[in-house]
Structure 1
Amino acid sequence: MAWFRIAYRPAVVDDLALVDRGMAQRLLDKTKWIASNVDNLRHEPISADLPGLSKYAVGDWRIFYSIDRPDQIVDIHRILPRKSRN
């Protein structure tokens, strides 16, 4: 099982600025975990009209990513808080 490289979009820096340091580290660690377990995960698509974009929940936060299998890259698009249901 090969490790995939991780690419962070520029918006991820702004997203993590909203988070306390401990949670930011937890989220970054989870992106590494996703990259090391690409073949073992069920990648949950966001919606039918965005088939290549998946999400992974970490507490009240969501990691939005896509996978480039030929180049073995996990592309992290955004890390955002879960929307409130109110």
Structure 2
Amino acid sequence: MTWLSRQLIRFLLALVVLALFGGAVIVMSFFVVPEQNREVVVQLIGGINSLAGMVIGFYFGRADNPNEVKVTNDPAHPVPVDQGE
């Protein structure tokens, strides 16, 4: 399966999460949830909402390369840390 790259897998998973979120919004808008199941449904919707937020943050939240590390001090002279006795 050489056509299924890591980027494509991430994109497809992101589409699935956003489709779940959209479906959950539609279901909550047009159907009445029984009172005994309301808390479970709200928690499931909250979890899907968190996943959708992570997808949006992954694709649109990064202004620069998160893997780039900038060293501002010389490794031979580390920053002193107070041990807090």
TM tier, smaller:
0.3 to 0.5
Looking at secondary structure, tell me which structure has more helix per residue: 2
TM-score by length of 1: 0.32
Looking at secondary structure, tell me which structure has more strand per residue: 1
TM-score by length of 2: 0.32
